[in-house]
Amino acid sequence: MPTIRFLTSECAVQFPDGDDVNMLRVAIRNDCGVPYKCASGNCGTDRVLVTEGAEHLSPPRKRERDRLGDLLDQGWRLACQVYASGDCAVQWDPEQKPLDANAVDKSLPNSVDDRIKQKWLSKKDTE
């Protein structure tokens, strides 16, 4: 069976022969730790450097080309936009942020999550 290797988190996920699978969906389902925000190719938070198996990935469509530009030629892809049909390996910076300031402004700020937790969780829950 083909395998996606998420090198940064040392996670490897197999999928059935003949399938093609969305890379970010696989990462979320298997807790592989790829950072993401919008999941629609806008912010670029989920960019990954493909170190092996680029030929087994779906060709980039408009949103990915628009967001990555020259980074595509350097081997970067957006995990949310990519479908894998064979073995491949990717890595990323665990601390990476969205690709530009506009995207940052349009993404849900992390502070919202903290505010929601403060509002809805009791002190006991958060300790």
Partner 1 sequence: MSQDTSAKLLNKDEFRAALEDAIKGREAKNASFSMAWANGDLKREHFARWAENHYHYVGPFADYLGYIYANTPDHATDAKDFLLQNMYEEELSDVRHTDLLMRFAEACGTTQERVMDPKNMNAVTRGLQGWCYAVAMREHFTVATAALVVGLESQVPSIYRKQLPPLIEKYGFTEEEVEFFDLHITSDEVHGERGYQIVLDYADTPELQQRCLDIVRAGAEMRFSYTKALYDNYVAPDLVGA
Instruction: Please answer whether residues 21 and 2 qualify as being in contact, where contact means their C-beta atoms are separated by less than 8 angstroms.
Output: no
Beta strands 88-91 and 47-52 are: antiparallel
Instruction: Draw the binding track, 79-108, toward partner 1 (x: CB under 8 A; -: no contact).
Output: -xx------------------------xxx
Can you read off the two tokens belonging to residue 83? 């479908």
Under the criterion CB under 8 A, does residue 37 sit at the interface with partner 1? yes
By CB under 8 A, which span of 1-9, 49-57, 84-92, 116-124 interacts with partner 1?
116-124
**What does the alpha-carbon distance between residue 41 and residue 52 come to, in Å, rounded to a whole number?**
22
Contacting residues toward partner 1, per CB under 8 A: 22, 24-25, 28-29, 36-43, 61-63, 80-81, 106-108, 112-113, 116-117, 120-121, 125
